[in-house]
Amino acid sequence: MLQRRTLIGAALALAVVPIGDLALAQDAEVSLFKVVSAKDDMIVGLTRDELAKFGPGVPLEVFAAELQRRGQMAVWQYASTRGAQGDLVMSPVQRIVVIYPATARIEPYRSALKVMPPAAR
């Protein structure tokens, strides 16, 4: 009986972990996306404030709708770099323009590294 309770408790604890990660991802200051085109793919980021200006909703859907509406958008390209303490972080490296007709797919990108906002660059 004790073994069964331990197994159930462990299973519930594991089930709660992804929910916590999702909540943190939604509260993140920067949302990362993988933009895939016929030529290559890149990681880009939009701040919470930028996404809020485009309208309410799920960040992926808001970004995709705004890109389609505008036809092109300037965004920050992100890559892994060394932070001030020497640790690996995802940080903005340059502004790029994403063009809607050339974009094959946009998907949310989750990094195991700390994501730095553009101002912290």
Record the pTM.
0.74
Rounded distance, CA 116 to CA 43, Å?
A: 13
For a pLDDT cut of 90, what percent of the chain falls above it?
74
Residues 10-43: tens digit of each pLDDT: 443 333 333 334 333 444 799 999 999 999 999 9
Q: Which two tokens stand for residue 86?
A: 């020497």
Listed in sequence order, the residues at least 6 apart from 115 whose beta carbon sits closer than 8 Å to its beta carbon are 28, 29, 30, 32, 45, 78, 89, 90, 91
Question: Which pLDDT belongs to residue 120?
Answer: 52
Rounded distance, CA 121 to CA 100, Å?
A: 27
3-class SS shares of the chain: helix, strand, coil, % to 5: 40, 40, 20
Residues 63-76: tens digit of each pLDDT: 999 999 999 999 99
Residues 46-58: tens digit of each pLDDT: 999 999 999 999 9
